[in-house]
Homo-oligomer: A and B are copies of this chain.
Amino acid sequence: MSPLGLIAGEGVLPLLVARGARAEGRQVVCAAFRGHAWPELREECDEFHWVGTLRLSSWIRVLRAGGCHEAVMVGRVAKHRMYDRWRYFRYIPDWRTARLWFTVLRHDKRPYSILKAVMSELSSAGVNLIDQTRYCREHLATPGVMTRRQPTEAQWIDIHFGWQAGQQLSRLDIGQAIAVKDRDVIAVEALEGTDAMIRRAGELCPVGGWTLIKVSNTQYDMRVDVPTIGATTIERLHEARAGCVVLEAGKTLIAEKQKVIELADRYRIAVVGYDASVCPPPPG
């Protein structure tokens, strides 16, 4: 089997993927985003190269030289930096990236449009992206309440209400999360990222006990954007007095799942894996 390419952004997920792939006996060749990927990722890979986030040609060079036909692209890149006025100086995009940016993406910089363009560019160079969760399935959210802590009755109402609203929002390809309290949407995430949205929800709802609904903005394309939470998310939720977090079962990653669930229980935050079979909509 050819080595697995790993295009790596921020966070622990690239490490989990590298470990998972090597545990199954597959070599890992990593193109790590400079300024985003964690340096300790180097220890987990057979080959490791730093690349610029906007230098698509470099990623392709690294993966092709490593003999990869398949790759996982995983880990966060703070998208809002793309709107910074000095962005071109900081990243200096290469010709492939510049061509995408100024032709295909000229007036359409929605997250999924960018990712689709990147996927098709990689694919034309012989590298196909595969499901991000392929080598870290044990970290996926499971159906039902994962914590010992259970949602309150009022939170269950917010869960059902918020899940419907979140599903409708996700079709608009805007953000990845909403905050709900008493069937009122307190905050909607767009470009600012989930952490900033959690902080805002906490300020807007000091009485606490609100629910975070995590959705995907990309029709759940498992190759490019699996919704993910980690220990930091739980810390932020605790600071913002949230009472519950809802994830789609089987389609959301909990990076370092066991640690995260323990932490949530300590803070009395219920973690729910939403699934139509275990969480039927309320009657009426």
Q: Which residues of A contact B (CB under 8 A)?
A: 80, 83-85, 107-111, 113, 154, 157-158, 165, 168-169, 171-175, 178-179, 181-192, 200, 204-207
Contact = CB atoms under 8 A, between A and B. Distances in A.
Nearest to A157: B107
Given A83-B205, A85-B206, A206-B85, A109 B191 contact: no
Contacts of A168: 168, 171-172
Contact of A83 (B84, B107, B108, B181): B181
Contacts of A107: 154, 157-158, 182-183
Contacts of A154: 107
A206 B84 contact: yes
A12 to B, nearest CB: 25
B186 A191 contact: yes
Q: Which of A109, A183, A190, A206 lies at the interface centre, i.e. has the most chain B CB atoms within 10 A of its CB?
A: A190
Contacts of A187: 190-192
A109 B204 contact: no
B190 A172 contact: no
17 contacts: A80-B205, A83-B205, A107-B154, A107-B158, A107-B182, A108-B183, A109-B183, A111-B184, A168-B168, A169-B169, A172-B185, A174-B185, A174-B188, A187-B190, A187-B191, A188-B188, A192-B204
